[in-house]
Structure 1
Amino acid sequence: MIATCYVTAHMAQCSDPGRAPRTWLAVVLINVGRCSVVSLASQVTLDFALYTPPRSTEMIRAMQVVVSGESRRAAVAGFRFVGHCGYSTASSSQRLAGKVAVITGGASGIGKAMAAEFVRNGAKVVLADVQDDLGRAAAAELGPNAACYACCDVTDEAQVVAAVDLVVARHGKLDIMLNNVGIVGSLARPRLSALDLADFDAVMAINARGVLAGVKHAARVMAPRRSGSIICMASVAGVLGSVTPHPYSVSKAAALGVVRAVAGEMARSGVRVNAISPNYIPTPLVMRILEQWYLKASAEEHRRIVEGDINEMEGAVLEPDDIARVALYLASDEAKYVNGHNLVVDSRFSVGKAPNMPSAPAL
């Protein structure tokens, strides 16, 4: 029998030697039958799927509370059964409570998804973008107390400086810098001899130089506080090459190079610098790219290419929210010892998948 159980557990008042009594912030481990639930609270409210063998309530009453590495007993104040057959979480974990973030390219797409995830977890966010209408709308959607929009062209260092300084002036600090903005450039896949260097320069200005500018000025305000997380959006294209137009691949490899170049220096100031490398995500931009590459394929076939040929994880499709949760981890204190790392999110694409991608004509 499966039932959903609503449990409220009031933690016993504890005190440290020489300190005033206080309510412990505890990790509560509830083990009932085959079910294990973890929550972080001083007054714990949990919704969980509960396997209910005989005498299950007696087992719940023996729940253990782990406090600062020690096991302590806690009394369960009461039980209310509210339904059957299900699993849910009571509230957001607030993993970024009190933190302040800048997200470049935060007005739309993956950037907007990351902003929403950060806000759900308690952060204040500044959406730095050049899409004024979308940026203001996204900030309004997230809530005026949680988000604001700042016009910022990352190819202009002065605008990056202004965006960072705006955050510090408004919130007094910057905890998270997410260098997300990027462009693909020309969708053509010409031979190397026909490569348009003007297009290359435009892509590099945003995807590489813009990332470095964001890292530079985030570090400027984070280092004195000896704390901060800088995240740079890269791509499997920067790991593999040959799966996107050359300028984009080179620019994402450069973003990874920025992370590797500065992570050691910033570690000495308590600041972490990491990268995220996603595989193809079926966003409108990606679908437009595939329309150019596979001219004879239908929209349904384009989606199959992304969800099946490129992403091969059975039963799962990579979505913006997946990348948002990866960014949440790197931004949070849970990743306090993760530095100089490229977190690849590609279902093994970069370590053994034979890319089914169109190639440039032979030389």
Structure 2
Amino acid sequence: MGADLVAGRTAIVTGAAQGIGLAIARLLHENGAKVVLVDLAADLAGQAAAGIGGDRLLPLACDVTDEASVEQVVRQTVEEFGSLEIYVNNAGIARDASLRKMSVDDFEAVMNVHLKGSWLGVRAASAVMREAGRGSIVNISSLSGKSGNAGQTNYSAAKAGIVGLTKAAAKELAHKGVRVNAVQPGLIRSAMTAAMSPQAFAEREAAIPMRRAGEPGEVAGAVLFLASDLSSYITGAVLEVGGGRFM
């Protein structure tokens, strides 16, 4: 059961069809929010909304790398629900390869989805929020953006960039009542980590002080905190959800 921490507010969550994004959408909804579930494929967004169930849900297709697509989602959200108080930049992809073998296309694809997509989301959401004088934007970074991972020069660079984006946007928007924060998940059980070999996963897990991987719902809890008034005096912060790794 939710505690209604964001009751009556409207949230957009990108990459909401599965994994961390779906967990975030579900928890915000349980806590009273009207939630727009955004994904590249409309049918997957619809299935995710049906899985959550109930009203106050709107599935929409969106290419987060496309300016017009992102702005259209924001417009539809305001038209449907009348406001926008929460925006979560969660959409992401992985195209892992060594620096020597990574193609320019794979580097650009990851940078575009994670970094450009987050920038477009921050810009479109804040345009609505600053006029209302309130709002919370949460960007999903990664501990890969703090420490760097071999084979992920594209992903690590993008996730580090999201931290810089978060802090710069927070400084620009604070006087308008809009907060911008980031969450840095560590090793979380998701479709992305499921693609790792059992040996690689076990090695990563063994390096975590808490000796276990995290669950999507644990990342969602951090997002809910930053989206709610419990964090009303927090902006430009980076909250690590990694079981103590890289302390």
For normalisation by structure 2, the TM-score amounts to: 0.95
Counterparts of 1:14-93 in structure 2 under 5 Å? 91-93=1-3
8 Å CA contact 2:94, 2:192 repeated in 1: no
One-letter amino acid matched to 1:101: A
The whole-number CA distance in structure 1 between the counterparts of 2:240 and 2:42 is 31
- The correspondence for 2:208, drawn from 311, 315, 324, is 311
Establish whether residue 227 from structure 1 lines up as the match of residue 134 from structure 2.
Answer: yes
- Displacement of 1:281 in angstroms is 1.2
Shift of the 243–324 alpha-carbon distance from structure 1 to 2, 3 Å rule, reads: farther
One-letter amino acid matched to 2:223: A
- Displacement of 1:348 in angstroms is 2.6
- The correspondence for 2:166, drawn from 259, 263, 271, is 259
8 Å CA contact 1:237, 1:244 repeated in 2: no
Q: In structure 1, list runs of 5 or more residues that go unmatched.
A: 1-90, 292-298, 352-363
> May I ask how many residue pairs the two structures share in their alignment?
247
Shift of the 96–275 alpha-carbon distance from structure 1 to 2, 3 Å rule, reads: same
Q: Which is richer in strand?
A: 1
Establish whether residue 341 from structure 1 lines up as the match of residue 237 from structure 2.
Answer: yes
Establish whether residue 171 from structure 1 lines up as the match of residue 67 from structure 2.
Answer: no
Deviation beyond 3 Å, 4+ runs, structure 1: none
8 Å CA contact 2:99, 2:151 repeated in 1: no
Shift of the 190–243 alpha-carbon distance from structure 1 to 2, 3 Å rule, reads: closer
2:49 corresponds to which residue? 139
Please give the root-mean-square deviation of Cα atoms over the aligned residues, in Å. 1.5
1:97 corresponds to which residue? 7
One-letter amino acid matched to 2:229: D
Establish whether residue 183 from structure 1 lines up as the match of residue 93 from structure 2.
Answer: yes
8 Å CA contact 1:106, 1:128 repeated in 2: yes
Deviations 1:97-116 (A, max 9, x none): 11100000011110000111
- The correspondence for 2:186, drawn from 272, 279, 283, is 279
For CA contacts below 8 A with separation 6 or more, give which structure has more relative contact order: 2
One-letter amino acid matched to 2:143: V
The whole-number CA distance in structure 1 between the counterparts of 2:200 and 2:143 is 19
Identical-pair percentage:
37
Q: Which is richer in helix?
A: 2
The whole-number CA distance in structure 2 between the counterparts of 1:138 and 1:228 is 25
8 Å CA contact 1:105, 1:129 repeated in 2: yes
Counterparts of 1:112-131 in structure 2 under 5 Å? 112-131=22-41
- Displacement of 1:346 in angstroms is 1.5
8 Å CA contact 2:193, 2:201 repeated in 1: no
1:324 corresponds to which residue? 220
- Displacement of 1:139 in angstroms is 1.0
8 Å CA contact 2:41, 2:62 repeated in 1: no
The whole-number CA distance in structure 1 between the counterparts of 2:69 and 2:11 is 16
Q: In structure 2, list runs of 5 or more residues that go unmatched.
A: none
One-letter amino acid matched to 1:97: A
1:154 corresponds to which residue? 64
One-letter amino acid matched to 1:262: A
